[in-house]
Structure formats: C-alpha cells, structure tokens
C-alpha cells in the first residue's frame, strides 16, 4: 500500500536566468506562467481530497520546475507560508524544494529553516567541469560541494540530481559523477537521461550535428551502474527518468534517452545481472544443470521478466539447454532475485 504522497507545485523557469542547453521548463511542465497563491491552495486542497482515507502516512508539498531559492524573497516567503500553514495544521508532513547549487547560502537556508522546509534537492547534473561548461550550467563543481555541506550542516535532508549524456559526457564521466555524489552522501537522488526538447540550444546542437546523444543502450547501462553505486552507498534513488506528461507524450517533442518505462529498463538490467551471477555459480558446479527457477517478490516480477520479456528471452536464448521458470515468492525482499534448481 502506498504510504507517501507528493503534492507537486510547479514554478516553471522562475528564479533561473541561466539557460542550460537542455532546458525548456515551459514544455516540461506544460505551463506558461507561475502558479498564483490561490491556484496553489486550490491544488493542494484538491490533492488532499484524493488521498484522504487511503492510509497515507507522509504527505509532501514539493516545489518543482525552477530554481526556487532564486525567485524574489517575497515570492519565496509567500509560497512557503502557504506550505507552512498546511504543515502546522497537520495536513502535510514535509516541505520539499529544488534549486541550483549556486543559489544556496546561509541567508537562504535560514529563511527555509524558518519556514519549516525539510528537503532540499540540488540540480547537480554532472560533477565534470567540461560537461558543466558545455551544458552552460553556470556553476562549478566546488559550488556543489559547498552547497551540499551547508545544507547538511543546517539539518536539511539533501537530494542530488544527475543527468546522463549531456554535451561532453561519456559513460565514464557519468559513473565518476555518481561516485562523487555517493561520497557527498545525500539522502535521496535522481537520475535523468538527457532529453532533447524543441526550442532548446541542445536541440539546435543535435540538428547541426555538434551534439550526439548516447544510444539507448549506453544510457541504460550507464544509468544502471550509477544506480548501483548510489544505492550501495545508501542513497534512495527516488526517480530514474523524466516523468511522462500528456504534453510531452502527445507532441512528439522528445529525442534522446526518453522511454516511458525507463526505470524498469534499468532495474531489469540489474535483475538480469543478479540472476546471471547466481546462474554462473550453479553452472560452474554442475554444467549439466537442466532446470532453473528464478524467483522474486511479486512487486519485482516485471523486472525479473524484463520489459517486453527481454530477460526471459535473453536467458532462454543464451542458455538453450536449460528449462527456465519464473515464479513469485512473497517471502523474498523487493528487488532481490533468487535462483532455485528446478
């Protein structure tokens, strides 16, 4: 049962005068202007109606879509005062926002603490200076470390976001960025494949050939390794891939590493690795093994089988001498895959 709900409040492109090559917030959020306070309250109330009585234990108001701490202080206070009002009334439990590493300082964090903000996510994107420069991020690696340290010192929960396949990026650079983030030690993380959207500089670079995106296979395999690094370091990776919206899905504006089930593609690869490692050990002991049962929790079953049955096809093709079965076992922890002799 779902016990955590998020009420998203989008503030598209507010507070961020910097135009990153990949960014067109109006298309991503399908909005043309900022949310008014009245609209914000209406949206919160409507969301609360839908989750009442559903066993939700934690509800967050989360500000997305722009660099929140870059908007005018008066606007920050107006938005945050509404969130604080709902929090003090016990209608929500957390306040969550996203911003840039170079838009964090003591004064900003003191304001956020005063308004009972709980979680601050930083759009890091990469910890490679060349990638940051070619992507026109407008901040340095050092600003990421400085902001992260300060956020944690103030007692906020820290989240860090990375992108895969930006200009100048390589799989090795993306994986190195994940290792660096793991060392910083955020509580939560997000991994976003680079998406090419019309009316961005990246789209023009793609059109004129100066930017070549990762292949889908490169994107999946790179993200898989990054996910493994972060989760092994105790980081809760709460999102992999851009969330599909009706606006994006119906207007054909996407090129690059977009797939509506991208997280499953990544988790299916991780499942395959886990399953094949066990299978290899069994075959080393008994090369004549003819029957294998793969088992997992029901929640993880689609990952075990693979998107479009890709894992099932992979094992049956590569190990044609073996008869494979795929079973559900609810005693097995989520995202864990066990192999049994048939």
pLDDT tens-place string over residues 179-224: 999 999 999 999 999 988 888 889 999 999 999 999 999 999 999 9
Residue 247 is predicted with a pLDDT of: 41
What is the average per-residue pLDDT within 245-254? 47
Beta bridge partners of 292: 324, 341
Q: What is the pLDDT of the chain when averaged over all its residues?
A: 90
Q: How many CA atoms lie within 13 A of 29 on its CB side?
A: 20
Collapsing DSSP to helix, strand or coil, 24 comes out as coil
Mind listing the pLDDT tens digit for each residue in 305-342?
999 999 999 999 999 999 999 999 999 999 999 998 76
CB 255 within 8 A of CB 206: yes
Give the whole-angstrom CA distance, residue 134 versus residue 21: 8
Residue 249's pLDDT band (boundaries 50, 70, 90)?
very low
- Pairing, β 157-164 against β 195-197: unpaired
Closest CA to 123 of 239, 42, 206: 239
What is the average per-residue pLDDT within 122-148? 94
Residue 25 is predicted with a pLDDT of: 54
Mind listing the pLDDT tens digit for each residue in 41-50?
999 999 999 9
What is the average per-residue pLDDT within 292-310? 96
What is the average per-residue pLDDT within 1-6? 84
Residue 19's pLDDT band (boundaries 50, 70, 90)?
confident
Residue 66's pLDDT band (boundaries 50, 70, 90)?
confident
Beta bridge partners of 4: 58
Q: Return the biggest CA–CA distance within the chain.
A: 72
Residue 246 is predicted with a pLDDT of: 38
Residue 16 is predicted with a pLDDT of: 62
**Which of 3-17, 151-165, 215-229 bottoms out in mean pLDDT, i.e. has the lowest?**
3-17
Structure tokens at 223: 């993200």
* Sequence-ordered list of residues with C-beta below 8 angstroms from that of 138, at least 6 positions apart, any chain: 18, 20, 102
Residue 32 is predicted with a pLDDT of: 52
Neighbours of 74 (CB within 10 A): 8
Q: Is the pLDDT of residue 30 over 60?
A: no
CB 306 within 8 A of CB 337: no
Closest CA to 161 of 104, 120, 123: 123
What is the average per-residue pLDDT within 58-85? 93
Could you give the percent of the chain with pLDDT greater than 90? 77
Mind listing the pLDDT tens digit for each residue in 73-125?
999 999 999 999 999 999 999 999 999 999 999 999 999 999 999 999 999 99
Q: What angle do CA 80, 85, 90 make, to 5 degrees?
A: 125
- For residue 292, the surrounding DSSP H or E stretch is strand 291-296
Query: For the whole prediction, is pTM greater than 0.85?
Result: yes
Q: Is the pLDDT of residue 142 over 50?
A: yes
What is the average per-residue pLDDT within 284-290? 94
Residue 17's pLDDT band (boundaries 50, 70, 90)?
low
Chain Cα centroid distance, residue 188: 9
Could you give the percent of the chain with pLDDT greater than 70? 90
């Amino acid at each position: 049962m779902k016990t955590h709900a998020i009420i998203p409040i989008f503030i598209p492109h507010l507070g961020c005068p910097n135009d990153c090559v990949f960014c067109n917030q109006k298309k991503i959020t399908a909005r043309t202007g900022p949310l008014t306070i009245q609209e914000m309250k209406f949206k919160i109330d409507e969301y609360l109606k839908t989750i009442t009585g559903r066993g939700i234990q934690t509800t967050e108001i989360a500000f997305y879509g722009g660099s929140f701490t870059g908007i005018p202080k008066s606007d920050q206070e107006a938005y945050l005062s509404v969130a604080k009002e709902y929090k003090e009334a016990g209608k929500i439990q957390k306040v969550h926002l996203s911003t840039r590493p170079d838009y964090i300082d003591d004064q900003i964090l003191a304001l956020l603490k005063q308004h009972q903000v709980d979680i601050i996510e930083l759009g890091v994107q990469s910890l490679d200076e060349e990638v940051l420069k070619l992507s026109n991020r407008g901040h340095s690696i050092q600003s990421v470390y400085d902001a992260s340290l300060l956020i944690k010192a103030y007692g906020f929960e820290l989240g860090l976001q990375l992108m895969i396949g930006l200009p100048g990026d390589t799989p090795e650079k993306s994986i190195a960025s994940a290792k660096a983030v793991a060392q910083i030690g955020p509580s939560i993380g997000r991994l976003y494949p680079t998406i090419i959207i019309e009316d961005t500089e990246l789209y023009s670079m793609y059109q004129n050939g100066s930017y070549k995106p990762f292949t889908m296979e490169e994107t999946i395999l790179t993200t898989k390794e990054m996910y493994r690094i972060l989760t092994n370091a105790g980081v809760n990776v709460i999102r992999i891939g851009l969330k599909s919206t009706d606006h994006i899905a119906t207007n054909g504006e996407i090129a690059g590493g977009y797939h509506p089930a991208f997280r499953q593609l990544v988790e299916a690869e991780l499942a395959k690795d886990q399953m094949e490692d066990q299978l290899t050990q069994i075959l080393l002991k008994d090369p004549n093994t003819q029957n294998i049962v793969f088992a997992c929790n029901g929640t993880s079953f689609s990952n075990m089988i693979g998107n479009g049955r890709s894992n099932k096809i992979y094992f049956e093709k590569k190990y044609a001498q073996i008869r494979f079965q795929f079973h559900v076992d609810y005693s097995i922890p989520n995202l864990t895959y066990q192999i049994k002799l048939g």
